[in-house]
Chains A and B, each alone.
Chain A
Amino acid sequence: MGSIEGILTGFEIALSVEGILFVLIGVFVGTFIGMLPGLGPISAIAVMIPITYGMDPAPALVMMAGVYYGAVFGGSTSSILLNAPGISGTVATAFDGYPMAQQGKAGKALAIAAISSFTGGTVSVILLMLLAPALASVAVAFGPPAYFALMLMGLTAISSLSEGSTIKALLSAVVGFMVVTIGIDGQTGTQRFTFGNVNLLEGLDFLVIALGLFALAEVCTLILNRKDDSVSNSHKLGSLRLGKSDFKEMKGPMARQSILGFLLGVLPGAGATIASFIGYITEKRIAKKPEEFGKGSIKGLAGPETANNAATGGAFVPLLSLGIPGSGTTAVMLGAFMVLGIQPGPLLMTDRPEVFWGIIASMYIGNVFLLILNLPLIPYIARILRIPRPLLISLVIMFSIIGVYAISFNTFDLYMLLLFGVIGFLMRLFAFPAPSFILAFILGGMMEQAFRQSLTISNGSLMIFIEKPISLSLLIVSVLSFVIPIVQQWRRQKKVNE
């Protein structure tokens, strides 16, 4: 069966009544679960697996895929409204989305997020459809040295995430990196910094850190400002309407990040998180007014939000065409495939074209549904901000606690959440940027492992990092993007001093 025929079969399935119905159910459940702070696509998919038991594979998987990208789509809501990112891919969304909501433009922020998500999702499906077979080889091109270089490149974003002081950003990052070294070391099995506590053996979960540093720290600020009238702006939802100038701002980031995000999503292990951070940073670097970033910039919201949804589409490349799960979420997806008797792999496209192309075709429709579903809901969802401050504070705390509890079922992690809430608040007081902390936390662990895997493979020779063109070029980019901003800042300071 040729590709075109396959695509047509796919659309036939996706556009059948059954197909449409299951896509709708999938994206609805996905967005709903994704919107709950602390619950991400993994929980959403795991919840749906028993329901698909006994269904036909194609509609069932169309639904599961819908749950997956639906949850990523909905995940931005809690980031924007409450500064409580539920999945690592939406941390960067909060950087500008939350300030925007605080300025009384919550409706607009959500609308921008929805439209960027839609664009990122749709472009990535087109790329997926055209390039999935060809990109399969790209997905396996990255060995440990290349991953090390990629993570390093992601880490260079740290200096761009500072609140003025590069040294404080670096300090935050080093401490974030230190926190991720807690737990059993992957390469040796050595327990590091666990204090003999079983709860620390697998390290601290991302959510504990993210909800502590962002949501709980924000709660502190809300408490301190609860009587301040100047913040009453945030009660306003603002207009949903996006003007021409808004679209003009969004156009660039959406176009760039759909493609960049997709490509990063294709790489197993990199995924939506790195894509969204890199999306944020590249937009900030090339923006004419980088100083607006972090204060409610449209570009700063559209960039990462496009990128993380595009990356979700990209993640289907290794999953569908190679059977390689690139993340925890796609690993659970792989489980869902197996339950239905489908083994994703290089042969899926020829053996079960209806499944392969059905999923891809359904993603077009799913993304349209998501947009139609989300846009009219925005005014209602944004009403969360109208909840009186004291009550809202209590509810955010409760949601953070549920979110953490639902992944570990353990109060230990809740105490840790509280601890990181305190740390996050102190970091705010002393202007240490939390974003660089969390970025180092997310990338540092993978980077260390990739570094040591590489050196084990090469028997200790550092040459392995510069022998292959991929890792070499990524390393050069990393070094440059780290050095240039520092030089720039130094020059600027010199000028000021003169």
Chain B
Amino acid sequence: MVFITSKRSGEVNDYDHWLHSFLTRTTGELNGNFFDDGLHLWMPILCLLKHTKQGGDRVLKTINQKISIVLILLAIGYLIMSYRLPSYPYTPVDADVVPKGLGWLLIILSIFLFFSKNTETKEQRARRNIPKKEFAVLGAVFLFIFLYIWLLEIVGFVIMTGVFIFFCSWFLGYKKYKTNIIVSVLFPFFMYVTFSYFLKISLPQGILPF
């Protein structure tokens, strides 16, 4: 986060601000351990995504350089935790040795990446050429998945899966409503029966009585 905000003007701060409010909102609702930790991981990635799309400018010229900074930050975080690992007296190679090695290796490799020439092929570069609108679509689908997971155990497998399949397919442009409804009703039901009764793997039952 730090390295991006320090170099950028208002626009990014707005973005940050938005991101921040989004995060606090989500974490507030969730109260879980996971999102506290999980989103910290996401943030540099999200920022990076946004950042790289602005094209080469200011300090970090190439994509490789930007990625290498992110990886170095990751390595530093990992190393800090590695150095804090408690020691265990009865082994010649303690639990922290390999992680420390990995952390430093990541830093070294990232430095290599920083100075390496961009050998991307045109095809690889073209992959990143994604219209903004499409990113929104992706974001929305991920949000759908998130809600699906969140409500899976509360509402139950059959209902949530049906709702998810229907809305996700519809959102992605599936126009045949009838087929869609039939699939999203029958399919989850079939899966549920197969798993719970045949395979004896219990999927969340939720609010349904069976």
Question: Which A positions have Cβ atoms within 8 angstroms of B?
Answer: 33, 39, 43, 47, 50, 163-165, 167-168, 170-171, 174-175, 177-178, 181, 185, 187-190, 192-193, 195-197, 199, 219-220, 223-224, 226-227, 388-391, 393-395, 397-398, 401-402, 405-406, 409, 411-412, 414-415, 418-419, 421-423, 425-426, 428-431, 448, 451-452, 455-456, 459-460
**Of the candidates A190, A195, A429, which one forms a contact with B127 in the assembled complex, judged by CB atoms under 8 Å apart?**
A429
Binds A, one of B4-12, B13-21, B137-145: B137-145
Q: Interface of chain B, helix or strand or loop or mixed?
A: helix
In the bound assembly, the distance between CA atoms of A51 and B180 in angstroms comes to: 37
The answer to whether A422 and B42 touch across the interface, beta carbons within 8 angstroms, is yes
Q: Which residues of A contact B185 (CB under 8 A)?
A: none
Question: Which positions 80-114 of chain B face chain A at CB distance < 8 Å?
Answer: 81, 85-86, 88, 91-95, 97-99, 102-103, 105-106, 109-110, 112-113
B67 within 8 A of A: yes
Q: A394-B169, A431-B124, A452-B93 are in contact. Are A415 and B109 (CB under 8 A)?
A: no
- Asked if B57 is at the interface of the complex by the 8 Å CB criterion, the answer is no
Please tell me if the beta carbons of B78 and A193 are within 8 angstroms of each other in the complex. Answer: yes
Contact partner, A188, options B91, B106, B127, Cβ 8 Å: B91
Question: Shortest CB–CB separation between residue B52 and chain A, in angstroms?
Answer: 8
B76 to chain A, nearest CB (A): 12
Closest to A225 in B: B134
CA of A394 to CA of B164 in the docked complex: distance in angstroms?
A: 7
**Do B199 and A170 have beta carbons less than 8 Å apart?**
no
Contact B94 A188 (CB under 8 A): yes
Query: Do the beta carbons of A460 and B92 come within 8 Å of each other?
Result: yes
Contacts of A405 in B (CB 8 A): 152, 203-204
Could you show 19 A-B contacts with beta carbons less than 8 Å apart? A171-B109, A174-B105, A181-B98, A224-B138, A226-B172, A226-B173, A389-B172, A391-B180, A394-B172, A401-B152, A402-B195, A414-B152, A418-B142, A426-B49, A431-B120, A431-B127, A452-B97, A455-B92, A459-B92
Given contacts A174-B109, A409-B202, 17 further A-B contacts (CB under 8 A): A33-B199, A47-B201, A171-B113, A178-B99, A178-B106, A189-B88, A199-B34, A388-B176, A391-B179, A394-B168, A397-B148, A402-B195, A406-B203, A419-B41, A421-B145, A425-B138, A451-B98
B24 part of interface (Cβ distance < 8 Å) = no
Instruction: Label chain A's interface by main secondary structure.
Output: helix
A287 to B161, CA, bound (A): 45
Question: CA–CA, A405 to B191, complex, Å?
Answer: 13
Q: Is the CB of A414 within 8 A of B124?
A: no
Asked if residues A402 and B203 are in contact (CB atoms below 8 Å), the reply is yes
Residue of B nearest to A398 (CB): B161
Rounded to whole angstroms, the CA-CA distance of A193 and B5 in the bound complex is 27
Contact of A393 among B149, B169, B183 (CB under 8 A): B169
Residue of B nearest to A388 (CB): B174
State whether A411 and B183 are in contact (beta carbons under 8 Å apart), knowing that A190-B86, A196-B33 are contacts in the complex.
no
Asked if B128 and A429 sit within 8 Å, CB to CB, the answer is yes
Select A418's contact among B98, B146, B204, beta carbons within 8 Å.
Answer: B146
| Chain B residues in the interface with A (C-beta under 8 A) | 33-35, 37-38, 41-42, 45, 49, 63, 67, 71, 74, 78, 81, 85-86, 88, 91-95, 97-99, 102-103, 105-106, 109-110, 112-113, 116, 119-121, 124, 127-128, 130, 134, 137-138, 141-142, 145-146, 148-150, 152-153, 161, 164-165, 168-174, 176, 179-180, 183, 187-188, 191, 195, 199-204
Chain A residue at minimal CB-CB distance from B202: A409
> CB distance B172 to A223 under 8 Å?
yes
CB proximity of A461 to chain B, nearest CB, Å: 9
User: What chain B residues lie within 8 Å of A220 (beta carbons)?
Assistant: 138
Q: How far is the CB of B21 from chain A (nearest CB, A)?
A: 20
CA distance A224 to B131 in the complex (A): 9
Check A174 against B91 for contact (C-beta < 8 Å).
no
Q: Across the interface, do B174 and A391 meet the contact criterion of CB distance under 8 Å?
A: yes
**B168 x A177 contact (CB < 8 A):** no
Question: Which chain B residue shows the least CB distance to A415?
Answer: B34
From A167, A226, A415, B116 is in contact (CB under 8 Å) with A167
Q: Choose among B38, B180, B195 the residue that contacts A406 (Cβ–Cβ < 8 A).
A: B195
A426 vs B41: C-alpha distance when bound (angstroms): 13
Give, as a whole number of angstroms, the nearest-CB distance from A344 to chain B. 25
Q: Give the chain B neighbours of A196 by CB distance below 8 A.
A: 33
> Taking A393-B168, A419-B42, A422-B142 as contacts, is the C-beta distance between A181 and B102 under 8 angstroms?
yes
* Nearest CB in chain A: distance from B190 CB, A: 12
Q: A390-B169, A414-B152, A419-B41 are in contact. Are A456 and B195 (CB under 8 A)?
A: no
Determine whether the beta carbon of B109 is less than 8 Å from that of A170. yes
Q: Which residue of B lies closest to A184 (CB)?
A: B95
Given A43-B199, A394-B165, A429-B128: A192 and B180 within 8 A (CB)?
Answer: no
* Residue of B whose beta carbon sits closest to that of A164: B119
- On chain A, the residues within 8 Å of B146 by CB distance are 415, 418
Instruction: Tell me if B88 and A181 are in contact (CB < 8 A).
Output: no
Is B95 within 8 A of A192, CB to CB? yes
Known: A167-B112, A190-B85, A430-B67. A223 touches B141 (CB 8 A): yes
List chain A residues, Cβ under 8 A from B183: 391
| Chain A residues near B202 (CB-CB < 8 A) | 409
Q: What is the CA–CA distance of A446 and B139 in the complex, to the nearest angstrom?
A: 36
Let me know if B42 and A164 touch, CB within 8 A.
Answer: no
Q: Known A167-B113, A419-B42; judge A456-B169 contact (CB<8 A).
A: no
Complex CA gap A49/B30 in Å reads: 39
> Which residue of chain B is the closest to A432 with respect to CB atoms?
B67
Complex contacts, A388 vs chain B, CB 8 Å: 169, 174, 176
Instruction: Report chain A residues within 8 Å CB of B103.
Output: 178
User: Does the CB pair A395–B187 fall under 8 Å?
Assistant: yes
Q: With contacts A190-B85, A406-B201, A452-B93 known, is A178 near B124, CB below 8 A?
A: no
User: Chain B contacts of A422 at CB under 8 A?
Assistant: 42, 45, 142
Q: Is there contact, CB below 8 Å, between B199 and A415?
A: no
